[in-house]
Amino acid sequence: MLKKRIIPCLDIKDGRTVKGVNFVDLRDAGDPVELAEIYSREGADELVFLDISATEQKRKTLAELVYHVAEKVNIPFTVGGGISSVEDVDILLKNGADKVSINSSAVKNPQLINDLVAKFGSQCIVVAIDAKQIDGRWIVHLVGGKVPTEIELFSWAKEVEERGAGEILFTSMDHDGTKNGFANDTLARLSSALNIPIIASGGAGNMQHFEDAFKEGKADAALAASVFHFKEIPIKDLKEKLRANGIPVRL
């Protein structure tokens, strides 16, 4: 059985790690290079590095910072933010990223997914989807959650898979930063509809929430930020609890 993955997320703004609630009210959470090194040492399975203001500010992800993070870690490392071309991905991979995450650029130009998969392979391409419920429908949002679209989550996720993406990082904007648990019903629906891995994001507040994401949400990986950044949940303790409760994880 494939091991379930625990993934700390480094949301980067102006070179610092930040964390907010429902995508707003950001506060400083530390130096990304230092945090990445700690997580790699403490047993994280992967890292995700998202330059959250790159798209809004219409600039590229900080390739130099990616290089310094990659120097310090020995686990897979996914980078997103401001990526809109094959050339962007090439630069990030050359600077040490193992995978890239695209979001707004994929919605605006779905062919980009196909182009990146053709050039770099499915295993390298993660499509991030930020969505929130509006009138009972899960609606995709762009530009760090600031811009709603007319696109519905499940149809977009299916298209992303058909275009060759290797996995989906789904963030429930309604759950983000609330520490009330992941959107497990929605995760389970995504997981049953798709054949590629789903990373759960948004809502982690305690160890039970991770267990629920795997058992109820059928997620392949669970991503969190503040509970790790502010040392509320040690990764080693989390993994030991998950394994004790029958969830296959790598210790």
Residue 4 has what DSSP assignment? B
Taking a C-beta distance cutoff of 8 angstroms, is the pair 200, 223 a contact?
yes
- Torsion 39-60-122-173 (CA) sign: positive
98 is catalytic: no
220 is catalytic: no
Taking a C-beta distance cutoff of 8 angstroms, is the pair 8, 33 a contact?
no
Q: Which of 45, 51, 88, 130 is catalytic?
A: 130
Write the single-letter amino acid at 86: V
The residue count of the chain comes to: 251
β-pairing verdict for 147-152 and 125-134? unpaired
Residue 206 has what DSSP assignment? S
| Residues designated catalytic | 11, 130
